[in-house]
């Protein structure tokens, strides 16, 4: 692998006495087996000094540091570490990889760790040998980088009492007796866990080094490829490059145009053909043919490429096709070990011809010598699906971080955009959706252009007004090769039908003479469609670039009457209002109602649209919308019978047109509409024609009194009637729909009559919650049942076991029924079981089905027990019966929790919430057996403290103890929970102090803690973004000052967020823009754009001082930000400020108690980033930071709250936050 840029690929730093003959020797051999040139100190004469050793470090690309038990008692090793850190800081290309062998990172980095102790002993024995602070800083610098750990621990065994107490036996990982002794202790005590075998660690380190070296390769850097190392290694693994003695191996790289297939294949090819050993092997010959499909079209055949390929491989001139059938030449080929790259092969026939007929005859392994490798790239999966192709490797699009890097390299020549360009860069990434070609091309186009050009160009791209020929032409080639059936199918899916279930799409497109199954599969094979796994089955998706391409193809027709598909609101408005009543070729209309103003439709708006198949008027958030399409005449005269999909959110009429014949309709969705009946009067006969209906969605149709006749709708799969509050009856014919999958009648509060039985064997979801008049559960005859929700229904008994026993394993059962008094008989496995608002007194989780055997393993993934007022205790085996999550809420009779007897089987248990159980006083002392717990919540209980063993919950992320009225103290152990990010102790009225806090804390809420007096002494240095101490009147004000001083540092990372809430009367002095006393506004002139960019403006911090009347409440404090174009009248913006250029709002939830306290509220951040209202219906994010867009303008910041007069604003202010070149915070005032 040696690249030639450095003398050595790897410099190995290790403690010889610890690992030279064990782990290190194995690692060196593995690196050399991979042809990774490695320097180790045995290559130096023993007389050489450390200075000579460090010279080799300067000539190496990567340093691998093996931290072991005695590493830090060697001045040689410590000096190497210091030099490695200097090299790393002086040369950003130098990479360092730490490996922890038999030690933990904390042993290296902690000031109280074993390395610190070893250094102390070293300096005591050899004063002046070095500087401990320098050594420790260097050790921490390296140890804090991403690396690998052996995971091996010292083994502790407790002897019997006869042995005289506790004895600690320490075994070195390199000890030959380690495994034997570990197993012996395991047998005796059951306490040993063996983490990782040495070979796995060696393999992981070698792979990491190999990937790093590939990413550092000059060819990779030159071509601006990002993170290619892992991709190249994956292809090489599939090709088995490490063992070229195997049979001929072929791999097909498959993906959409521009996805990087050729780039990846060429990188693999060049790595094998440009290495120093390539002239001697492992391949005798190699050849690369680029863009075969286009060359075949240009040359009208493949013959020329065949002769080019084999003339080169055989070193023969003037070859003919007949020569290639010669037995002697074939024998010569069979003795050649070759590496071939066949790029962009257009068909299996082309591939077969290039390999001399060996694909179809299955003789490719005989064509070349064993060990040959052939890489084929193709957009069409069928090209490489033949059995001879050993592996098909899909080439995926780039992830977000990789995409940003690639784009930035071409747009800015750097690995990341400048901060002030990040917003527009994100918009460009959204367009490219991870396609490497698009990222490179678009980055190159925008390179060097100003912001206005970027904004204009990107807006044109996303609206489909323009395209990028270099991208469009590449993608268009796949489309142009489609047949007459596949092209319109692709346009339908790309423009409108993407995101559908595959089965639903096939039903939508099926006609009496056309089945789209084979064409959909072909489009998937050609990388034009993507088949993704969804919750309910396979979903059909389309890459965003292909959607843009589809719309560009459609929009080439500028006569709206001839345009087949429409999505642009302006075009649709013109079509329906100006061109109404004329013949139009429209096949599909897709209109987002949030993007238009109110529109009146005439009765003949759809007259002449005889080809219309898809009509969709929708709100992105339907429950927030309002009616925008008005029909003053009260009728629509025409809808074509060819219509297959009709979605009209908030449809304004009481019924559908009486003349509309729906025999071809597959989807009918009228969400939140005013409809009373689908058809009325003479039109009711049309309902019987719903013979092809697959989905009926009448969500939120509150005036609907009756369903259409569904007796002939034998294909119906989805029936959604949620929140149809006027519906009284579900017709009996629904019970006979044998293909029904989803039935949703949730919130049908007046529904009384439902079928007694549902015969569909495919029924998966039955949602009946809040049907307050349904008194019984219907009989369900489906083994596919996954969700049965009977919450808040008046059924008096749990449904019969005959229903549960048919439920699919992993299903969800929810019973929130007050009249249920006994625990139901349940199936053996459920993903989630929720039993709430019942009158059960006990719960049995044992085996209810098999008396002769017990269940193996948990029965539930999640168990929710909420508001069971008569439940007295939890079953002793609850922790064995639930695998992941237990929630017990508002069960007032529960006094204790069962102990967690052992850790085995608790690996997946991550969530425990026992809340509002007023008699619960103690947390189980064995809770540390839940070692993988992430969320722990005991809010509203009577616990007085926490057990010390909480410190063993190393995976804990959230600890909530709100409203624990007896909680007086928390043990000083929380700082040991390294992953704890959320601590909530709100309304713990007896809590007097907080313990030391963990370093990763993101939210600390101690609101309403009236007795709280003391905070940790290091609170000012804690990097916690959100700290809330509302109504903590006893707090030490000096400690509050320390807390506020750390607030600025939180504002420095881009897109960060933070807030501070605490008792006080003054804003911090660094709020240079402050209002006068009693005023709720302040004006600021923003700096010029050049100053914002040069000084790296990061954020605007908001601050307000309030006082309240004696009353407890929570309110939203809001700051409205206005570009000033008027005057102020008193304490509010005057009406003359109405002609605003833009406006934003930034809010924070604040709390007050029944004390007349003044509070200070400070906040900033991306979460609260102002938004720009573009019209009355929709809020859109600003495409760039607003303080950049309006640089130099005068801004009015006006603070107000959403509530009564109890809350008074005494003072407000803002502060412009910058960062200097060394990333330290600077606050600039005027």
Q: 341: domain CATH number?
A: 3.40.50.300
Return the sign of the alpha-carbon dihedral for residues 1129, 1132, 1136, 1141: positive
**434 & 335 share domain:** no
pLDDT at 278 over 80: no
Domain that holds residue 491: 472-556
Mean of the per-residue pLDDT values for the chain?
81
Tokens of 956: 């804990």
| Confidence grade of residue 692 (pLDDT, cut at 50, 70, 90) | very high
Determine whether 443 is exposed, middle or buried from the number of CB atoms within 10 Å of its CB (0-12, 13-18, 19+): buried
Give the integer Cα–Cα distance in Å for 674 and 669: 13
Q: Taken in order 138, 140, 142, 143, is the CA torsion positive or negative?
A: positive
> When comparing pLDDT for 583 and 139, which is higher?
139
The whole-number pLDDT of residue 894 equals 92
Residue 646 included in any domain: no
Given a cut of 60, whether residue 616 has pLDDT beyond it is yes
Considering the domain architecture, whether residues 460 and 503 belong to the same structural domain is answered as no
| Residue 309 phi, psi dihedral angles, 5° rounding | -65, -50
**Domain shared by 440 and 549, yes or no:** no
* Same domain (yes/no): 387, 404: no
DSSP helix/strand/coil, 538? strand
For 1071-1099, write each residue's pLDDT tens digit: 889 998 889 889 888 887 666 665 666 67
Position 494 scores a pLDDT of: 92
Rounded mean pLDDT of 967-991? 93
DSSP letter string, 437-459? HHHHHHHHHHTT--HHHHHHHHH
Q: Is residue 584 part of a domain?
A: no
The CATH number for 439's domain is 1.10.8
Phi/psi class of residue 102: alpha, beta or left (left: φ > 0; alpha: ψ in -120 to 50)? left
Q: Is the pLDDT of residue 1052 over 70?
A: no
The structure tokens listed for 249 are: 């191996």
Same domain, 424 and 373: no
Given a cut of 70, is residue 649 above it in pLDDT? Answer: yes
977 within domain boundaries = no
Q: Are 264 and 235 in contact (CB under 8 A)?
A: yes
Closest CA to 1012 of 1040, 985, 993: 993
Number of domains in the chain: 5
- Out of 94-103, 696-705, 739-748, 1202-1211, pick the least confident: 1202-1211
Is pLDDT of 1004 > 90? yes
Q: Are 1107 and 1156 in contact (CB under 8 A)?
A: yes
Q: Check whether residue 1113 and residue 1071 sit in a common domain.
A: yes
Q: What is the pLDDT of residue 191?
A: 29
- In this structure, the answer to whether residues 324 and 420 fall within a common structural domain is no
Rounded CA separation 898/715 (Å): 50
Q: Which of 40-49, 402-411, 989-998 is predicted most confidently? A: 989-998
* 1085, 1194 contact by CB (below 8 A): yes
The pairing of strands 1179-1180 and 1172-1173 is: antiparallel
Domain assignment present for 811: no
Per-residue pLDDT of 797-816, as tens digits, reads: 777 777 776 777 667 888 77
CB burial class (10 A; 0-12, 13-18, 19+) of residue 170? exposed
Q: What was the pLDDT predicted at 221?
A: 44
Question: In terms of domains, do 354 and 426 share one?
Answer: no
The pLDDT of residue 1094 is 59
CB 643 within 8 A of CB 613: yes
Tell me the two tokens of residue 137: 């800083």
pLDDT at 84 over 80: yes
What does DSSP say about strands 1113-1123 and 1194-1201: parallel, antiparallel, or unpaired?
Answer: antiparallel
pLDDT given for residue 938 in this prediction: 97
The answer to whether 39 and 91 have CB atoms below 8 angstroms apart is: no
Q: What is the pLDDT confidence band of residue 187, given thresholds at 50, 70 and 90?
A: very low
Question: Which is it for strands 667-669 and 695-697: parallel, antiparallel or unpaired?
Answer: parallel
Report pLDDT for 1136.
41
Enumerate the β-bridge partners of residue 588. 565, 614
> Which of the pair, 394 or 512, is modelled with greater confidence?
394
Residue ending a domain, among 415, 450, 466, is 466
Residue 148 included in any domain: yes
pLDDT value at position 1230? 34
Q: How far apart are CA 667 and CA 690, in angstroms?
A: 10
Q: Same structural domain for residues 1195 and 1096?
A: yes
Question: Quick one: 372 and 290 in the same domain?
Answer: yes
Give pTM, 2 decimals: 0.71
Distance linking the first and last C-alpha atoms of the chain: 58
pLDDT at residue 275, as a whole number? 52
Residues 78 and 94 placed together within one structural domain of the fold: yes
Would strands 1143-1152 and 1113-1123 be described as parallel, antiparallel, or unpaired?
Answer: antiparallel
* Beta-bridge mates of residue 96: 63
Segment 426-477, tens digit of pLDDT? 999 989 988 988 998 999 999 989 888 998 899 888 877 677 888 888 889 8
Share of the chain above pLDDT 90, in %: 30
**Residue whose pair of structure tokens reads 């980095």 in the numeric block:** 109
**Beta-bridge mates of residue 1147:** 1118
Question: Are 242 and 140 contained in the same domain?
Answer: no
Q: Where are the beta strands (DSSP E) in 486-582?
A: 530-534, 537-541, 565-566
User: Quick one: pLDDT at residue 528?
Assistant: 92
Of 161-170, 223-232, 279-288, 413-422, the range with the highest mean pLDDT is: 413-422
Which two tokens mark 76?
A: 């040689």
Distances (CA, A) of 335 to 87, 243, 272, 362: 49, 17, 19, 18
Q: Residue 916: inside a domain, yes or no?
A: no
Query: Crossing angle for the helix pair 132-143 and 114-125, nearest 10 degrees?
Result: 150
3-state secondary structure 855-904: CCCCCEEEEEEECCCCCCCCCCCHHHHEEEEEEEECCCCCCCCCCCCCCC
Question: Is a pLDDT exceeding 50 seen at residue 1167?
Answer: no
Residue at which a domain ends, from 394, 421, 441? 394
Q: Strands 38-39, 95-100: parallel, antiparallel or unpaired by DSSP?
A: unpaired
Q: What is the arithmetic mean of pLDDT over 1192-1198? A: 84
Lowest mean pLDDT among 898-902, 988-992, 1027-1031, 1171-1175: 1171-1175
Structural domain contains residue 954: no
Residue 92 confidence (pLDDT): 62
Single out the residue in 349, 366, 394 at which a domain terminates: 394
To the nearest 10°, the Cα dihedral for 1195, 1200, 1201, 1203?
A: -140
CATH number of the structural domain spanning residue 526: 1.10.10.10
For residue 265, tell me if it sits in a domain.
Answer: yes
């Amino acid at each position: 692998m040696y690249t030639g840029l450095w003398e050595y690929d790897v410099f190995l730093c290790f403690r010889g006495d610890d690992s030279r003959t064990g782990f290190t020797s194995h690692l060196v051999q593995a690196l050399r087996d991979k042809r990774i040139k490695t320097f180790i100190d045995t290559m130096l004469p023993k007389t050489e000094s450390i200075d000579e050793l460090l010279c080799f470090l300067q000539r190496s690309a990567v340093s691998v540091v093996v931290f072991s038990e005695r590493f830090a008692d060697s001045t040689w090793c410590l000096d190497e570490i210091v030099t490695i850190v200097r090299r790393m800081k002086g040369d950003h290309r130098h990479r360092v990889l730490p490996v922890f062998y038999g030690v933990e990172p904390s042993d290296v980095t902690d000031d109280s760790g074993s390395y610190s102790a070893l250094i102390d002993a070293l300096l005591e024995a050899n004063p002046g040998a070095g500087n401990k602070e320098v050594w420790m800083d260097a050790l921490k610098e390296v140890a804090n980088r991403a690396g690998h750990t052996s995971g091996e621990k010292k083994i502790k065994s407790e002897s019997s009492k006869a042995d005289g107490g506790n004895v600690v036996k320490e075994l070195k990982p390199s000890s030959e007796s380690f495994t034997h002794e570990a197993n012996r202790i395991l047998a005796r005590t059951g306490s040993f866990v063996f983490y990782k075998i040495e070979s796995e660690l060696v393999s992981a380190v070698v792979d990491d080094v190999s990937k790093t070296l590939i990413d550092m390769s000059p060819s990779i850097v030159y071509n601006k490829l990002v993170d290619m190392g892992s991709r190249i290694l994956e292809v090489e693994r599939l090709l088995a490059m490490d063992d070229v003695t195997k049979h001929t191996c072929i791999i097909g790289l498959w993906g959409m145009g521009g996805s990087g297939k050729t780039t990846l294949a060429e990188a693999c090819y060049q790595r094998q053909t440009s290495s120093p050993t390539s002239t001697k092997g492992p391949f005798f010959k190699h050849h690369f043919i680029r863009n075969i499909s286009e060359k075949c079209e240009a040359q009208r055949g493949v013959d020329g490429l065949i002769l080019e390929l084999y003339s080169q491989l055989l070193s023969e001139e003037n070859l003919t096709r007949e020569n290639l059938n010669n037995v002697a030449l074939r024998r010569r080929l069979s003795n050649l070990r070759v590496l071939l790259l066949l790029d962009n092969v257009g068909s299996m026939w082309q591939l077969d011809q290039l390999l001399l007929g060996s694909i179809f005859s299955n003789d490719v392994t005989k064509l070349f010598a064993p060990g040959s490798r052939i890489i084929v790239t193709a957009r069409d999966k069928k090209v490489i699906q033949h059995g001879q192709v050993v592996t098909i490797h899909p080439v995926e699009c780039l992830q977000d971080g990789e995409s940003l890097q690639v784009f930035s390299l071409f747009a800015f020549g750097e690995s990341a955009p400048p901060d002030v360009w990040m917003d527009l860069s994100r918009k460009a990434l959204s367009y490219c959706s991870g396609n490497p070609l698009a990222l490179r091309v678009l980055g190159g186009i925008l390179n060097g252009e100003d912001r206005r050009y970027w904004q204009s160009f990107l807006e044109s791209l996303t609206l489909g007004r323009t395209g990028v020929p270099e991208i469009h032409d590449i993608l268009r080639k796949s489309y142009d090769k489609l047949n007459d059936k596949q092209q319109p199918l692709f346009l339908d899916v790309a423009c409108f039908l993407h995101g559908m279930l595959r089965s639903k799409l096939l039903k939508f497109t099926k006609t009496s003479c056309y089945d789209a199954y084979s064409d959909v599969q072909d489009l998937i094979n050609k990388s034009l469609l993507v088949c993704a796994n969804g919750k309910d089955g396979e979903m059909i998706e389309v890459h965003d670039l292909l959607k843009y391409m589809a719309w560009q193809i459609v929009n080439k027709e500028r006569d709206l009457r001839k345009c087949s598909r429409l999505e642009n609101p302006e075009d649709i408005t013109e079509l329906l209002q100006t061109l109404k009543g004329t013949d139009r070729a429209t096949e599909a209309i897709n209109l987002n109602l949030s993007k238009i103003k109110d529109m009146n439709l005439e009765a003949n708006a759809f007259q002449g649209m005889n080809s219309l198949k898809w009509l969709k008027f929708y709100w992105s958030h339907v429950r927030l919308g309002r009616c925008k399409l008005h029909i003053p005449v009260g009728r629509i005269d025409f809808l074509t019978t060819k219509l297959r999909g009709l979605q009209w959110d908030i449809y304004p009429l009481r019924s559908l047109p009486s003349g509309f014949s729906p025999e071809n309709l597959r989807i009918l969705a009228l969400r939140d509409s005013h409809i009373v009946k689908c058809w009325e009067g003479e039109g009711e006969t049309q309902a019987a024609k719903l013979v092809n209906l697959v989905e009926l969605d009448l969500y939120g149709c509150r005036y609907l009194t009756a369903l259409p006749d569904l007796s002939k709708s034998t294909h119906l799969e989805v029936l959604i009637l949620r929140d149809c509050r006027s519906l009284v009856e579900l017709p009996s014919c629904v019970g006979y729909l044998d293909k029904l999958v989803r039935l949703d009648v949730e919130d049908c509060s007046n529904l009384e009559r439902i079928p007694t039985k549902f015969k569909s064997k495919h029924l998966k979801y039955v949602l009946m919650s809040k049907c307050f008049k349904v008194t019984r559960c219907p009989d369900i005859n489906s083994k596919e049942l996954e969700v049965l929700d009977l919450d808040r229904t008046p059924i008096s008994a749990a449904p019969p076991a005959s229903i549960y026993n048919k439920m699919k394993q992993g299903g969800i059962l929810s019973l929130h029924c007050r009249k249920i008094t006994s625990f139901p008989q349940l199936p053996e496995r459920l993903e989630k079981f929720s039993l709430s608002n019942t009158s059960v007194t006990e719960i049995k989780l044992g085996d209810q089905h098999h008396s002769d055997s017990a269940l193996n393993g948990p029965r539930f993934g999640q168990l929710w027990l909420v508001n069971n007022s008569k439940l007295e205790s939890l079953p002793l085996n609850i922790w064995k019966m639930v695998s992941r999550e237990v929630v017990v809420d508002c069960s007032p009779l529960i006094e204790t929790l069962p102990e967690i007897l052992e850790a085995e089987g608790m690996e997946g248990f991550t969530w425990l919430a026992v809340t509002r159980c007023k008699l619960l006083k103690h947390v189980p002392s064995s809770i540390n057996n839940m070692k993988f717990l992430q969320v722990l919540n005991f809010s509203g209980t009577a616990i007085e403290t926490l057990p010390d063993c909480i410190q063993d919950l190393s995976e804990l992320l959230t600890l909530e103890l709100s409203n624990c009225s007896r909680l007086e103290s928390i043990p000083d152990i929380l700082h040991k929970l390294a992953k704890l990010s959320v601590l909530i102790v709100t309304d713990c009225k007896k809590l007097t102090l907080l313990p030391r806090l963990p370093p990763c804390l993101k939210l600390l809420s101690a609101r309403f803690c009236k007795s709280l007096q003391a905070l940790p002494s290091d609170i000012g240095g804690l990097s916690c973004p959100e700290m809330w101490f509302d109504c903590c009147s006893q707090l030490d004000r000096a400690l509050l000052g320390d807390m506020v001083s750390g607030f600025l540092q939180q504002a420095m990372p881009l897109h960060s967020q933070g807030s501070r809430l605490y008792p006080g009367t003054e804003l911090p002095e660094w709020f240079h823009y402050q209002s006068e006393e009693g005023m709720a506004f302040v004006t600021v002139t923003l700096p010029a754009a050049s100053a914002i960019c040069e000084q790296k403006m990061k954020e605007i911090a908001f601050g307000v001082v309030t006082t309240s009347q004696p009353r407890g409440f929570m309110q939203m404090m809001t700051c409205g930000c206005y570009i000033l174009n008027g005057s102020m009248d008193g304490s509010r913006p005057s009406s003359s400020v109405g002609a605003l250029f833009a406006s934003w709002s930034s809010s924070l939830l604040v709390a007050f108690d029944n004390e007349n306290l003044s509070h200070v509220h400070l906040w900033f951040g991306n979460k609260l980033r102002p938004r720009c209202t573009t019209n009355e219906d929709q809020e859109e994010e600003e495409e760039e930071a607003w303080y950049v867009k309006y640089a130099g303008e005068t801004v009015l910041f006006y603070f107000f709250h959403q509530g009564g007069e109890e809350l008074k604003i005494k003072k407000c202010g803002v502060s412009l936050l910058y960062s200097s070149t060394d990333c330290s915070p600077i606050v600039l005032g005027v």
